[in-house]
Each structure stands twice: as C-alpha cells, then as structure tokens.
Amino acid sequence: MPQKCEDTVHILEGKATLYKRQHSPLWYVRYKVQGKWVKASTKEEGLRDAKSAAVEVVTNAWFREKHQLPIVSKRFIQVANLAIRRMEDAERAGQYKKTYKTYIQALNRYLIPFFKNHNVDRIDGGLLQEFDRWRIQEMNRQPSKSVLNNHNSALNRVFDEAVERGYMTKTQIPLLKNHGKDSERRPDITIDDYTKLYRGMRKWVKSARQGNEQRMREVLREYILVIANVGFRPGTEGMNLKWHNIYFFEQDTKQYLALWVHGKTNAHEMTARHSAVRYLDRLRMLNPDWQRGTFEEFLNRRLDDYVFRIDGKDMTTAFGRMFKRLLDSLGLLIDPRTGKERTLYSLRHMYATHVLTKRRMSIEELAEHMDTSVTMIQKHYNHILLRKAAGRIAGDRGWRERES
C-alpha cells in the first residue's frame, strides 16, 4: 500500500484533499464537482486555517452545483479580455465584423474601467444604474440611443463569453435597457452649398503648398466628391476601400460603376453615379505608375492598394480636420437648419436627401444601398418625403398663387 505524502491531508470524509505544491508555502485543495476534479488555493499556510478555508471552498462549490449556479466566478475584466481576444481572433480568421472595433472601444473606454473588479455573475440592475450615472459624468452628456446600443452589445459579448465558459448562467444575465437620448436631426449640405464647395475646392487645391499639403488636398477633394456621388460612410467604408473593390458591370446593355464596400455589419455593393468615374480616374492619375491605359484597364489590374489612404495610412482624422478648415474658409461650416458643424458624414446625408428628393430610389432601395435599415431612413429623412407631398397635403396650388 502506497505511503501517504506528509503534505497531503484528506478532509470531508475523503471527498477532498489538501496538499502542498513544491516551492509554495500555501495549502491547496482538490475536490470533485460536476464530475470534474477542481483545484483551488486556500491562501493559508497553517494547516488548521487551511482546513477551515478548504471546507468553505468545497461546500460552497457543492451548494452552487446543487442549485445550478456556476462553480467558478470570474472578475469582469478577465472575461472582458477573453471576449476581446475572441473578436481579435475572428479578425485574424477573416470573420471580423466592423462593429467589433466599436465594441472593443466601448469595453476599453467605459465598461472595463467601471466593472473590472466586479464578479461577472454578480452584475445586476442596481450596479447597471450606478454605471449609467458614472457614464454620464464621464461623457459629460446624456448618451444617445445608438451609443447605448453599442455599449449593450459589447456588454452582451462579455456575458455570452461568461456563459460559454461556465462563469455564469443565462438566468444571471441582467436586463439591459436603453433610455438614451433620441438622435437629433443631422447636419447635411444643400445642393447650393455643395455647388459652392465644389467650385471652392478648385482654388483650394491650387493654393496648396507643394509637397504633402498639395497631395493631401488633391486626395481629399476626390474623397469628398466620391462620397457625395456614392453615399458610403466616411472612415469605416471609405478608408477600407481598395482599388480591386471597384469595377464596372453591365445592366440592360449599359455600363455602370460599382464599389464593393465593407460596412458596419455587412459587405455590400454600391452603384456610383456616373460622375464618380471622373473623380476616381483623376485620383489614380496622381500616381505616375498608374497613368498608363484607360481607367477601365487600370481597374482590371485588380490592385490591392487602398484608394483614399496616403502611403497606406488611414486619413480619417486628418481629412476630418482639413474638411472642417475648408468649410470654415468657404463660410459653410455651420448648417443653418440644425446649428451644428458639418462633417464629412454630412455628404452622406446630402446624398440620401438628394436621392429621395429626386425620387431616384425608394426608401427600401436606399436602405439597401446605404447598408442601413428602413426604420433609420424613415427616422432621418421622412421630413423630405413630406415636403415632396406638400401639394397633396395643402392643395394643388401654392399659397401665393391662391392669393393672386
């Protein structure tokens, strides 16, 4: 019969074992729960205290097993980091979603700093209310519903990770609410203001200093014009666009230009207005290595280079600042209808407004084209359709015509 090691002690009628590890003064306990052997530290050096701590650890685990509660509890920061790692692994595997970047930012900026030392299975409604108050102080404003949707989605990623790993049960996931501020009307650009911007950019590009400033202005001008004629999202979609994502296709014996963009959730095709061909062709001509041949021949080379990045660098922030200075110099920075500063995103809104005003697409077609929902289109652009229906609402004749 084998001799029992001096540093091994059986407790709880032999159902658990205390033991020591080499080079450690602490006692550890090994016990069986849910059909698996589990090890835990008693955090005690003395045998007497270790026995008491071990009994508490083991009986608590058995209690949680009996009542179908998770045996092992983890702090929020540990599970959040696992959730982040899973999203990053998805990117490396080519399964990355654009929303993951937003979720990771929300976790690192708000969720981890507040919840980090709380056990993930003990986050409840009361703690979530404390978080709501803390977040408003951190942001110095009431967050919008879209921001809260992103935060809730990021939080659910952590809870899903905890459930999958057995750190909490589905019944322990708290109800996440959204009492965010309704989105306000966004600043856009009228056709008249766009015409002023279009003409103003000619002088703006010519007045640039030779070198980096000239190059940035030349690329930004084409970026502005293409957004206005396609409607993609600046930053997310524009900066990830590559030349091999642009191609011609035929429909009813006519040729059209399309862009395959990677949106917030899905990759999708966007048909460009014909004028975008000239702007993109002008952009490729800025590179001496790409000037040979027609634009169609150039696209057929299927180059893996980014369209709007400079030396491979994402220009979202730099272009945003330059666009602001450009608008300010032309007296176009503030949208008079909303009182807000216009941004590159305003060009996307201008595109949607123009399409609906001219009835080039239905709401359903526009939602598909812009990778958004019909609800969002109706929410932000229904006032345009009501203006178009003014004649039916008020009567066929205008007010001045009726007076005369």
Residues 262-279 have pLDDT tens digits of 876 678 999 999 999 999
Residue 348 C-beta-side C-alpha neighbours within 13 Å: 20
SS3 content of the chain, % helix, strand, coil (to 5): 50, 15, 35
* Residue found under tokens 């750190």: 167
User: How much is the pLDDT for 400?
Assistant: 53
Q: How high is the mean pLDDT of the chain? A: 87
Q: Measuring CA to CA, which residue among 39, 92, 90, 80 is closest to residue 165?
A: 80
CATH topology identical between 76-172 and 191-391: no
- We find that the CATH architecture of domain 191-391 is Orthogonal Bundle (1.10)
Q: CB count, 10 Å around CB of 225?
A: 22
pLDDT confidence of residue 395: 58
Residue 337 has what pLDDT?
Answer: 84
pLDDT (average), residues 249-260: 94
pLDDT at 5: 52
What are the structure tokens assigned to 172, written together?
């322990």
Nearest alpha carbon to residue 154 among 90, 218, 87, 70: 87
- 183 or 18, which is more confident? 18
Maximum alpha-carbon separation in the chain: 116
Average pLDDT for 40-51: 92
Name the CATH topology of 76-172: DNA polymerase; domain 1 (1.10.150)
Give the per-residue pLDDT at 164: 87
Examine the pLDDT at 3 and tell me if it is beyond 70: no
Predicted pLDDT at 228: 95
Contact 205, 322 (CB under 8 A): no
Domain ranges within the chain, ordered by starting residue:
8-66, 76-172, 191-391
Task: State the Cα–Cα distance between residues 52 and 71, nearest whole angstrom.
Answer: 19
pLDDT band at 33 (very low <50, low <70, confident <90, very high): confident
Question: pTM score, two decimals?
Answer: 0.60
Q: What is the pLDDT of residues 102-118, one digit of tens each?
A: 899 999 999 999 999 99
Residue 399 has pLDDT above 60, yes or no: no
Residue that wins the pLDDT comparison between 73 and 228:
228
pLDDT at residue 139 tops 50 = yes
**Quick one: which H or E segment has residue 132?**
helix 125-139
* CA angle 156–158–160, rounded 5-degree value: 65
CA nearest to 193, candidates 318, 342, 300, 312: 342
Q: Answer yes or no: is pLDDT of 41 > 50.
A: yes
Asked whether the beta carbons of 244 and 300 are under 8 A apart, the reply is: no
Per-residue confidence (pLDDT) for residue 304, from 0 to 100: 96
The predicted pLDDT at position 141 comes to: 87
pLDDT in tens, 308-360: 999 999 999 999 999 999 999 999 999 988 889 999 999 999 998 888 888 78
Q: What is the pLDDT of residue 2?
A: 44
In this structure, the number of other CB atoms found within 10 A of the CB of residue 110 comes to 20
Q: Which pLDDT band, with edges at 50, 70 and 90, does 180 fall under?
A: low
Give yes or no for residue 97 having a pLDDT over 90: no
For residue 376, pLDDT beyond 80: no
